[in-house]
């Protein structure tokens, strides 16, 4: 049923009327209230502005009375509309009774929640529900936010959805589900989805998101982190876009973890290992502290639970002043009393100075449960553009780790390899020079890495098409360059391993 939170936020639509949600969904689709429909109606600039929480261009583009214009103004722009006009598009009385709409003014109705069209990875027409004015999650600066408000889709949400490994699984767990976007994605490839959140309002909105998107219901549980999960429960996939912001206190539920420093992210990662089935993945977004006198990579290695491979990628680093300003603006504090803003800014800097924090890192953490005697832990910095969705590339990374663990150098030289798709070679040197200063292999897919190789490495990669073994290719190169083939075989496997690990070469099994 709908209800009012203690914070005084608006009542939410009922969750016990799946048939009504299905009819509302049908009406929205019939009016082309979809991601593609919005783009066609608004045009690219206004559509992009809406994703930044800027509504003026969309208001200008919806001044008519067409059905789609009415829905955009109603559900995305929070503009009341005449009852009769809405009744021509939606089952208005049922929507009023179910709490999706409310009566305002003389003869107008208004939406009680934001409903944003969202395109699924397979072309699905989904809808993400959130609190009014909060359709865009993350640092949007949408005025003052209530502590229990539930945000919609933001950059962090879509990043996590894009990096998640999407193999069919029996069970998936979405920790801190928020508006339900990760649970919605998981419902497409998991037989059973469990979603948890400390905020009961978020669980209610997740149920609405799933119902309005035509997705199966999830097992919704209230509580912090793994608290709602039974001790004997394990999962094939765990995902979380947690309240990772490192802040002095827990003022805003959707972003502030309430633990000191980066303890929430550390706890989440450390506890995930025992909740994973063999071969299962846990994937998180996180913030971590860069502490004076401490290697940030060592800090993160210490988080990795026993029995798990890990791949941790730092995507961005902000100094403490940039970080404080970002999240003060996220809460709209910069629009309020200047003295209060300054006091809060001071509190953030006091907290960081007390912990000797110089900067904050942001990135992705992927764990995979393994039975290997020596799990692999890779911690790296990669701030460059990548190709989303990246889930398949992440799965392939761990498959390559398994391959490299099983093959010693002798077996590696007997193996066959193929150059990955869309890898190009770049030669860098002075104009007119006979030989390049160095050779770079560059990917145009996945992580879009670039790595320096010597002439042997470049020649080896260029010949790899899966037909000849690595050893035979090196023997041929040795003959061409006049090098001892035994010495070449001895020194090259380390370079081959790096090219395989980073995805430039693919094993042909």
Collapse the DSSP code of 111 into the 3-class scheme (helix H, G, I; strand E, B; otherwise coil) and give the result.
Answer: strand
Separation CA 497–CA 195 (nearest Å): 39
- Residue that the structure tokens 């767990």 belong to: 173
The H or E element containing residue 263 is helix 263-272
Per-residue pLDDT band at 140 (split at 50, 70, 90): very low
Tens-digit pLDDT profile for residues 67-80: 999 999 999 999 99
Separation CA 275–CA 294 (nearest Å): 29
- Print the SS3 string covering 356-401: CEEEEEEEEEEEEECCCCCCCEEEEECCCCCCCCCHHHHHHHHHHH
Per-residue pLDDT band at 147 (split at 50, 70, 90): confident
Separation CA 332–CA 329 (nearest Å): 5
Which of 385, 379, 365, 500 lies closest to 449 in space, CA to CA?
A: 385
Tens-digit pLDDT profile for residues 47-106: 999 888 889 999 999 999 999 999 999 999 999 999 999 999 999 999 999 999 999 988
Per-residue pLDDT band at 135 (split at 50, 70, 90): confident
* pLDDT for position 134: 85
| Cβ neighbourhood burial of 271 (10 Å; 0-12, 13-18, 19+) | middle
Does the pLDDT at position 415 exceed 70?
yes
* pLDDT for position 141: 37
Separation CA 154–CA 465 (nearest Å): 41
Does the pLDDT at position 6 exceed 60?
no
The fraction of the chain above a pLDDT of 70, given in percent, is 96
Per-residue pLDDT band at 138 (split at 50, 70, 90): very low
Provide the b/e sequence for 286-319 (b: ≥16 CB within 10 Å). bbbbbbeeeebbebbeebbbebbbbbbbbeebbe
Collapse the DSSP code of 422 into the 3-class scheme (helix H, G, I; strand E, B; otherwise coil) and give the result.
Answer: coil
Higher pLDDT, 334 or 493: 493
Does the pLDDT at position 433 exceed 80?
no
CB 116 within 8 A of CB 208: no
Query: For 90, how many CA atoms within 13 A lie in the half-sphere containing its CB?
Result: 31
Does the pLDDT at position 381 exceed 50?
yes
The H or E element containing residue 460 is helix 455-463
Separation CA 50–CA 311 (nearest Å): 34
Find all residues with CB under 8 Å of 46, minimum gap 6, and list them. 57, 58, 60, 61
- Assigned token pair, 463: 């010949």
Which of 297, 208, 252 lies closest to 14 in space, CA to CA?
A: 208
* pLDDT for position 2: 45
Per-residue pLDDT band at 334 (split at 50, 70, 90): confident
Does the pLDDT at position 137 exceed 70?
no
Separation CA 22–CA 18 (nearest Å): 6
CB 137 within 8 A of CB 152: yes
- Assigned token pair, 390: 């990246």
The fraction of the chain above a pLDDT of 90, given in percent, is 85
- Assigned token pair, 159: 């990043």
The H or E element containing residue 351 is helix 338-354
Give the largest Cα separation in the chain, rounded: 91
Give alpha helix (H) positions in 145-233.
155-163, 181-186, 200-212
* pLDDT for position 145: 55
Which of 302, 283, 295, 317 lies closest to 377 in space, CA to CA?
A: 302
Does the pLDDT at position 488 exceed 70?
yes
* pLDDT for position 191: 98
Q: What phi, psi does 195 have (nearest 5°)?
A: -130, 135
Q: What is the mean pLDDT of the chain?
A: 93
Q: What's the DSSP call for residue 6?
A: T
- Assigned token pair, 161: 């959805």
Q: 210's torsion region: left (phi>0), alpha (psi -120 to 50) or beta?
A: alpha
* pLDDT for position 265: 96
Which of 86, 28, 73 lies closest to 211 in space, CA to CA?
A: 28
Separation CA 180–CA 115 (nearest Å): 13
What are the CA-CA distances from residue 165 to residues 160, 187, 225 (Å)? 10, 13, 21
The CA radius of gyration of the chain, in Å to the nearest whole number, is: 26
* pLDDT for position 429: 81
Does the pLDDT at position 46 exceed 70?
yes
What are the CA-CA distances from residue 161 to residues 52, 155, 239, 277 (Å)? 19, 10, 9, 21
Average pLDDT over residues 198-214: 97
* pLDDT for position 8: 65
* pLDDT for position 143: 44
Collapse the DSSP code of 85 into the 3-class scheme (helix H, G, I; strand E, B; otherwise coil) and give the result.
Answer: helix
Tens-digit pLDDT profile for residues 261-292: 999 999 999 999 999 999 999 999 999 999 99
- DSSP symbols for 291-347: ETTS-HHHHHHTTSPTTEEEEEEEEEEEEHHHHHHHHHHHTTGGGS-HHHHHHHHHH
Per-residue pLDDT band at 144 (split at 50, 70, 90): very low
Query: Mean pLDDT lowest for which of 155-159, 197-201, 327-331, 486-490?
Result: 327-331
- Print the SS3 string covering 20-78: HHHHHHHHHHHCCCCHHHHHHHHCHHHHHHHHCCCCHHHHHHCCCCCHHHHHHHHHHCC
Per-residue pLDDT band at 146 (split at 50, 70, 90): low
Does the pLDDT at position 438 exceed 90?
no
Does the pLDDT at position 247 exceed 50?
yes
CB 246 within 8 A of CB 260: no
* pLDDT for position 7: 54
CB 86 within 8 A of CB 2: no
């Amino acid at each position: 049923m709908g209800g009012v939170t203690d914070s005084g936020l608006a009542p939410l639509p009922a969750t016990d009327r799946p048939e009504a949600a299905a009819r509302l969904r049908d009406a929205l689709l019939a009016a082309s209230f979809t991601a593609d429909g919005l783009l066609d109606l608004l045009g690219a600039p206004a559509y992009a502005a809406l994703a930044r929480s800027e509504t003026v261009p969309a208001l200008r583009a919806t001044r008519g009375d067409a059905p789609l214009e009415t829905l955009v103004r109603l559900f995305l722009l929070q503009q009341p509309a005449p009852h009769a006009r809405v009744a021509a598009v939606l089952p208005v009385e049922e929507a009023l009774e179910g709490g999706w709409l409310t009566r305002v003014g003389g003869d107008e109705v208004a939406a009680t929640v934001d409903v944003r069209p969202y395109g699924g990875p397979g072309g699905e027409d989904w809808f993400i529900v959130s609190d009014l004015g909060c359709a865009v999650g993350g640092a949007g600066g949408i005025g003052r936010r209530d502590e229990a408000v539930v945000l919609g889709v933001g950059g962090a949400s879509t990043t996590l959805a894009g990096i998640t490994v999407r193999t069919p699984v029996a069970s998936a767990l979405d920790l801190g589900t928020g508006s339900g976007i990760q649970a919605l994605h998981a419902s497409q490839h998991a037989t059973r989805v469990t979603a948890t959140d400390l905020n009961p309002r978020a669980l209610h909105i997740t149920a609405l998101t799933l119902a309005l998107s035509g997705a199966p219901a999830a097992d919704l549980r209230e509580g912090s982190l793994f608290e709602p999960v039974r001790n004997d429960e394990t999962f094939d996939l765990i995902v979380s876009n947690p309240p990772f912001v490192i802040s002095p206190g827990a003022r805003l539920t959707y972003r502030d973890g309430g633990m000191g420093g980066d303890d929430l992210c550390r706890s989440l990662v450390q506890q995930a290992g025992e909740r994973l089935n063999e071969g299962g993945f846990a994937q998180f977004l996180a913030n971590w502290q860069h502490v004076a006198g401490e290697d940030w990579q060592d800090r993160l290695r210490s988080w990795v639970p026993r029995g798990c491979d890990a791949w941790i990628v730092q995507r961005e680093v902000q100094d403490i002043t940039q970080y404080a300003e970002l999240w003060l603006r996220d809460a709209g504090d910069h629009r309020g009393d200047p003295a209060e803003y300054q006091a809060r800014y001071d509190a953030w800097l006091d907290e960081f100075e007390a912990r000797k924090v110089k900067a904050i890192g942001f990135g992705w953490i992927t764990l995979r449960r393994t039975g290997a005697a020596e799990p692999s832990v890779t911690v790296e910095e990669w701030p460059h553009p990548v190709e989303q969705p990246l889930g398949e590339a992440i799965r392939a990374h761990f498959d390559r780790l398994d391959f490299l663990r099983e093959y010693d150098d002798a077996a590696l030289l007997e193996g066959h390899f193929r150059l990955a798709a869309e890898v190009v070679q770049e030669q860098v040197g002075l104009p007119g020079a006979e030989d390049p200063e160095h050779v770079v292999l560059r990917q145009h897919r996945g992580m879009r890495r670039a790595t320096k190789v010597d002439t042997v490495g470049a020649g080896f990669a260029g010949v790899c098409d899966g037909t000849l073994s690595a050893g035979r290719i090196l023997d041929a190169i040795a003959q061409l360059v006049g090098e001892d083939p035994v010495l070449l075989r001895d020194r090259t496997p380390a370079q081959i391993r790096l090219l395989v690990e980073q995805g430039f070469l693919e094993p042909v099994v």
